[in-house]
Structure 1
Amino acid sequence: MIDAIQSVGAFSNLKEAEGTSLTASTALSLPSAGASAPQSQSFAEVLGTMTTDAIRSMKSAEGVSLQAIRGEANTREVVDAVMNAEQSLQTALAIRDKVVTAYLEIARMQI
């Protein structure tokens, strides 16, 4: 069921129409785990990473729920996993709503 959502992860592979990458002034800078210099990522890469994390969270919740049905997980683990997945889903929906709102505002601008 959740595997169908993985196609959304293709956002991380988006490039600009001309094939150039985003410059440092337009890219989101995030600190890297092991390096001292910040690593810049494009907005599409950040969205792709967030989407992948949300999908992983939902799959984990689904797996823990199945373990509970088999009697291998307790209720607390199921609730924690489902709440984490719900929070990820709510975050994804909020970001989607903001992107749609921004698009509609841009579409209403007069040239």
Structure 2
Amino acid sequence: MSSTGAASAGVNPGQSFAAMVSETANRTIDTLQAAEQVSIKALQGDADARQVADAVMNAEQSLQAAVAIRDKIVTAYLEISRMAI
């Protein structure tokens, strides 16, 4: 990947893998918490159903992406652990 491709994807080329995974996890948590707050506002009458649906759908997409990333990391780890030395 070129440096311009990495920059356009929002990834710092010098950023460590652990920092990238941590940042992604934090963004996912923030999205889930925002959806929870919108749901609570709707229960209090301060938000409509569309806002809740949008927030929950965004949270679901973020969670699915996080699970897919986790699965890829686990698969890569298992492949590396099976390599002969």
* TM-score tier (shorter): 0.7 to 0.9
Q: TM-score, normalised by structure 1?
A: 0.65
Percentage identity across aligned positions? 54
Runs of 4+ with deviation above 2 angstroms: 29-32
Cα deviation 1:11-57 (Å, max 9, x = unaligned): xxxxxxxxxxxxxxxxxx9439xxxxx65211111111111110100
RMSD: 1.7
More helix by share: 2
Q: TM-score, normalised by structure 2?
A: 0.84
Q: Using the alignment, how far apart are the partners of 1:94 and 1:31 within structure 2?
A: 22
Kept in 2: contact 1:61–1:81 (CA 8 A): yes
Q: Which runs of 5+ in 2 are unaligned?
A: none
Secondary structure class of the residue paired with 2:84: coil
User: 2:20 matched to which residue of 1?
Assistant: 46
User: 1:94 matched to which residue of 2?
Assistant: 68
Q: Kindly tell me the number of residue pairs found equivalent between the two proteins.
A: 78
Q: Using the alignment, how far apart are the partners of 1:58 and 1:83 within structure 2?
A: 10
User: 1:75 matched to which residue of 2?
Assistant: 49
1:1-111 equivalences under 5 Å are 30-31=6-7, 40-111=14-85
Cα deviation 1:50-80 (Å, max 9, x = unaligned): 1111010000000000000011000000000
